[in-house]
Structure 1
Amino acid sequence: MKHTLLILTFIISIPLCSTAQKSNLAPTPPMGFMTWNYFGDNITEQDVKSIADAMLEEGLVELGYDYIFIDDGWQGGRDNKNNIIPDPEKFPSGIKALADYLHERGMKLGIYSDAAQLTCAGYTASLGFEEQDAKTFAEWEVDYLKYDYCFAPTDRETAEKRYIKMADALKATDRDIVFAVCEWGQREPWLWAEEAGGQLWRTTYDIRDKWKADAPEGADLHEESIGYGILDILEINAELDEYAGPGGWNDPDMLVVGLHGKSGPSKDQGGTGATNTEYQSQMSLWSLMAAPLMISNDVRNMDDATRAILTNKDILAIDQDPLGKQAKRVINENGWQVFVKPLADGTYAVGILNADEKKRRFKSKLSDLGIDGKYQLFDVWNKETHKKTNKLNFKVKSHETLVFKLTN
């Protein structure tokens, strides 16, 4: 009887979780191009190929941007055996042929579905067909699945069950497919998504192409359809540093760098564009926060400023640092935000954001940021090295983020 009680106690105490173990699929944050912000649901096979060709020509793939993530709008319904199929007009060669095109060029393919009957844009989704769709994605040699949550119940328990079901279906295919949980942070996925089988999880609603929302303090940006800007997303994701690490990343949504208010869903809800300084700040802040870096501007027609932001090897190294620590926000007052990110070599990256509307001088001792000793300060953007010091004393432009790599 005692043994029976012990077994029953063990069974009852088993948590609701996926059979997935801690993943090595995303040891560093995924990088690539995501189609939604620029193309919306009008994405085509030729668009994907032209983006891939441009990414190679621009050297982006060599820098680590090796995914192309096809977002909503690729679906063409189901065939007479209920297999999900691509839209034959948008993708006449099929998804497998497109995956082959990318793989032959050293790239990887991501695709999209939803944990309901329809996707956010009203296309065929995967609820009730998880095993069948996962098998299809694996047969197509897909490398990544973004799994959205439109038209699904609002409670957390249902979300966990639906994400677990797809995660287990992906695992059963024996193909390595990165699983991106995209329920927009409303059910606190940082607390459960990794255990449910995800390698990254969206922490916020969609980002728009702007610095911040034009809204009174306390406004519900989603309910009032105002839209989240870079700074609004930052305020949410910056608080979640303890939940990120190798194999499991907080995802504050795509980079809007270089969009300049052009095309696609990112221009909705006030997304009329940001300045190059603000775009550079997004790149800085996302990299400090070990975020997935998903380009969404038209890489076929980049200007020099956009190219310089997206191809800065030093800021990319901070994002991709193998220690996998998300920076901790150690100061958030008087319009200053300061981030400290421990790095694998035992040093630090420090970011200083001036969220104020005017240029100001920032002064602080490194010890006040939790860093002891003296360090050389390498300015990641200006490529200047400052002599060893235990202090920070710099002018920072409005909405600018300075980033320093501290070296001994």
Structure 2
Amino acid sequence: MIGQSLERTGSIRFIVFFIILHLSIYSLPINARSNEHASFPPRGWNSYDSFCWTISEAEFLQSAEIISKRLLPHGYQIQYVVVDYLWYRKKVEGAYVDSLGYDVIDEWGRMHPDPARWPSSRGGKGFTQVAEKVHGMGLKFGIHVMGGISTQAYNANTLVMDSVKGGAYEELGRQWRAKDIGMKEKACVWMSHGFMSVNTKLGAGKAFLRSLYRQYAEWGVDFIKHDCVFGADSNIEEITFVSEVLKELDRPVLYSISPGASVTPTMAKEVSQLVNMYRITGDDWDTWKDVVAHFDISRDMSASSMIGARGLQGKSWPDLDMLPLGWLTDPGSNFGPHRACNLNMEEQKTQMTLWSIAKSPLMFGGDVRKLDDATYNLITNPTLLEINSYSSNNKEFPYITATRVSRNMHKSHPHHPTANNISTKHAFGLTSCKEPKANTWSIVDKNRGQICWNQYSSEKPEKNFCLYNRKALLASDEEMKHNQLYQGKLHLQTNDKAESCLGASSKQKLTSKDYSRGALSPCKLDANQMWELHSNGTLENSYSGLCAVLNPVKAEASSNGVRSWIATGRRGEIYVAFFNLNPLKTTISAKISDIAKALQNKQNIQGASCKSHEIWSGKDFGPTKDSVSIQVESHGPALFILRCSHA
């Protein structure tokens, strides 16, 4: 009897303890209780916008220390500091972004930090000491890597390392080398002298990649930015295998992929579960056209429920690229920060507001050693950081009206954003071959090798868009080798006499505004310009595995450029962001009833009275059941916090 009583008492105590423990855990901030990767959009700093590839260890650690002291206390709970590309390149005369022969590689063809710029790496230490110092500052350490294997390692024909058994990788009775796994015909399009894909169908190709990422983990790397593997440079096989390797590691590593030009929601769904961040645009730089280029793609990702979708051992986030604010350098530069951001403050606020409400990772790119107050206050704005981490139901909100303020006499011109003047121009683009709109090519003239964008396509251009298969002019050894490699593939020109051929992407890193431009370039014998026409009407590229499409370019009249986003806050508040993309001041309005419908009863505000605060002007607006409205500066945003209640 006494034993049963003690047993019951012990059980009750255990239940009470469990309840208290459960409640205490769930009273913690989300990031304190969750072990999953990228619970929130990742935040931090990347060296590219300010240093390009030239940053040194001293400059990096100085920047990390400033970030630890100035940004970490301002809502940057998990802060990554990332060394961008070419940390292995010697900074000497003749070395530049696409040069060959200036890299530091080991006997296994793996990249190592340039010891002249990264002195703590001497003796094969890699980034070990840098990572330890960064961790000691309360930060996490990241690096940029290129896809595949370097051309330098391929030319040296280095051995492939077996990181599981140790020593050289052996299979089928022999040791494997770089030339066995490198795919020279699949060189990185924008760094063709630097890197090429590896054959992941081979055990040796997989062994090489595994040796790379195990080494990065041994160095203490927490964040990998993997370049030239996504978008127009898509390499789903390598992404898939690297994702598997990262799962095998005994320490968590956040996985980010880029560059992201030509990305569609279908392509995003194919990679989102494999990664934690994926670029959905080309390189973003400090131009207004680049900022504007992010609105459509961020809208499409939200509409496809890609924001915070399941990712690698956690969540994944569509990435709008680094924030090029503050003190910067230039793309492809051989020297560090030297100029101020070209965006005016209204344009900078628009960029930061969109990045935040679209829940993009916030990776600042400016030189933190020269961080002015205006930029600092912008990137640490508590409302924007709150929205970026904790808001939900984030989506573009199209039900707005706008009244343009004319330069002449300040006359008003009402318009609705759906009443824009639409151009019928088309631009070449790439998409997943699974997209229905890719099935729209057909042979028109077999004798001339003519194929055309199908006349029955719903996105038919004004004039027929046709291409012609290029005929070999000379039976050279190079042509014969090429014909064997790409037997049955098409080399497409704009007409049967031209020497400009259709390629999968530009020969340089693309910015957000021009990812679909100039797919034509001088004809060369490489996979980027090889195509295969399938029986289902898809035209597949041999380099990326993506399919060619013609996309209509909806060229809006500049005066009609108004956009809006909405989201709900964790405390019941509602966020409404207006964006004025045209060159004149514009009054933008939204009805409370339309906001209620768009939220689909996630917030019960139908018929409620709402008070609002606009953060950029600092103005409070009294109770209203009708609408929110404000005059927005040219290229600027407005951001309302609505708190609604029923009387």
Q: TM-score, normalised by structure 1?
A: 0.81
2 CA distance for matches of 1:231 and 1:299?
A: 25
Is 2:231–2:263's contact at 8 Å kept on the other side of the alignment?
no
1:162-202 deviation digits (Å, cap 9, x = unpaired): 1011111111112111111214143533121122x101110
Structure 2 equivalent of residue 243 of structure 1:
306
Query: Residue 378 of structure 1 aligns with which residue?
Result: 613
1:254 is the counterpart of 2:314: no
Counterpart of 2:85 (choices 72, 88, 102) is 72
SS in structure 2 at match of 1:207: coil
**Alpha carbons of 1:108 and 1:322: their partners in 2 closer, same or farther (altered >3 Å)?**
farther
Q: Deviations over 1:103-148 (max 9, x none)?
A: 1011011111122324765656884322111101111111111111
CA distance in 1, matches of 2:395, 2:232: 30
Counterpart in the other structure of 1:280 = 349
Does residue 198 of the first structure (1) align with residue 275 of the second (2)?
Answer: yes
CA distances 1:31-65 after superposition (whole Å, capped 9, x unpaired): 11111111111121112111112223424454307
Aligned mates of 1:379, 1:300 — CA distance in 2: 31
1:365–1:392 CA contact under 8 A, matched in 2: yes
- Residue 166 (structure 1) aligned with residue 242 (structure 2): yes
- Identical columns (%): 25
Q: Is 1:47 aligned to 2:59, yes or no?
A: yes
1:355-374 alignment to 2 at 5 Å? 355-369=581-595, 370=598, 372=606, 373-374=608-609
Taking a change above 3 Å as real, the CA distance of residues 86 and 62 of structure 1, as seen in their structure-2 partners, is same
2:390 maps to 1:321: yes
Q: How does 1:123-138 map to 2 (within 5 A)?
A: 127=198, 128=205, 129-138=208-217
Distance verdict in 2 for CA 1:153–1:303, change over 3 Å: closer
Which letter maps to 1:289?
Answer: A
Work out whether residues 209 and 267 of structure 1, in 8 Å CA contact, stay in contact via their aligned partners in 2: no
Return the alpha-carbon distance in structure 2 between the equivalents of residues 389 and 266 of structure 1. Answer: 52
* Structure ranking higher on relative contact order (CA contacts 8 Å, 6+ apart): 1
| Residue aligned with 2:293, SS | helix
Gap runs ≥5 in structure 2: 1-34, 89-102, 122-126, 151-187, 199-204, 310-314, 335-339, 400-416, 419-559, 600-605
Q: C-alpha separation between the residues in 2 aligned to 1:116 and 1:149? A: 9
1:100 has 2:132 as partner: yes
Q: Which residue of structure 2 aligns with residue 344 of structure 1?
A: 570
Q: How does 1:114-153 map to 2 (within 5 A)?
A: 114-118=146-150, 127=198, 128=205, 129-149=208-228
Q: 1:234 aligns to what?
A: 295
* Counterpart Cα distance in 1 of 2:348 and 2:233: 35
2:331 is matched with which residue? Answer: 265
CA distance change for structure 1 residues 101 and 162 in 2, over 3 Å: closer, same or farther? same
Question: Aligned equivalents of 2:246 and 2:364: distance in 1?
Answer: 25
Say if 2:188 is the partner of 1:112: no
Q: Counterpart in 2 of 1:177? A: 253
> Which position in structure 2 is the counterpart of 1:210?
287
Aligned-partner Cα distance in 2 for 1:299–1:140: 25
Alpha carbons 1:56, 1:62 under 8 Å: kept: no
Q: Does structure 1 retain, via aligned residues, the 8 Å contact 2:324–2:341?
A: no
Instruction: State the Cα distance separating 1:154 from its structure 2 match.
Output: 5.4
Which residue of structure 2 aligns with residue 395 of structure 1? 631
Q: For 1:111, what is the secondary structure of its paired residue?
A: strand
CA distance in 2 between partners of 1:74 and 1:177 (Å): 19
User: Does 292-301 or 49-58 show the bigger shift?
Assistant: 49-58
Distance in 2, matches of 1:72 and 1:287, equals: 26
Distance 2:612 2:196 in 1: 49
Give the CA deviation at 1:336: 1.3
State the alpha-carbon separation in 2 of the partners of residues 299 and 344 from structure 1.
Answer: 31
1:341-382 per-residue CA deviation (whole Å, 9 max, x = no partner) reads: 133334321100011211121223122233533322122334
